[in-house]
Amino acid sequence: MGYVASDTNFFPGALINDGLMDLITIDGDVAPAKSIGIALSFDSGRFFSNPLVNYRKISAFRIVPKNQKDGYISIDGERIPFGPFQAEIHPGLATVLSKRGIYENPGPLGWEKHEAAT
């Protein structure tokens, strides 16, 4: 879903039934000050235009830690065992409920203006 917080659209390109995940990666060698700036850019809609942010639509991913025996991996804030893991999409496996009965995502910043022009 596009919303992680009620007032911020973290994933403006998310579609309810496209069979894909939205993967966001940021290289690990970003300076702390730049990391803070990236995190604060969600509300303004500038997050995805930052050259340090990589955004991809994917159907699956696998992470295999290399060259280390121990470390820390978390998914949605929950610690998981350190080692290889995989995630993939299973279309139609879940149902999304909302107050209005449908799920709507307005799309990326400026999307409304583009839609009105076409």
Q: What percent of the chain has pLDDT over 90?
A: 17
Exposure string for 70-107, b = 16+ CB within 10 A, e = fewer = eeeeeeeeeeeeeeeeeeeeeeeeeeeeeeeeebebeb
pLDDT at residue 110 tops 50: no
Confidence band of 111 (pLDDT split at 50, 70, 90): very low
In this structure, of 12-26, 73-87, 103-117, the range with the lowest mean pLDDT score is 103-117
**pLDDT of 58:** 92
pLDDT digits (tens, 9 = 90+) for 42-85: 777 677 788 888 888 899 999 899 998 899 988 878 999 999 99
Per the CB < 8 A criterion, the answer to whether 14 and 2 are in contact is: yes
**pLDDT of 86:** 93
**pLDDT of 73:** 87
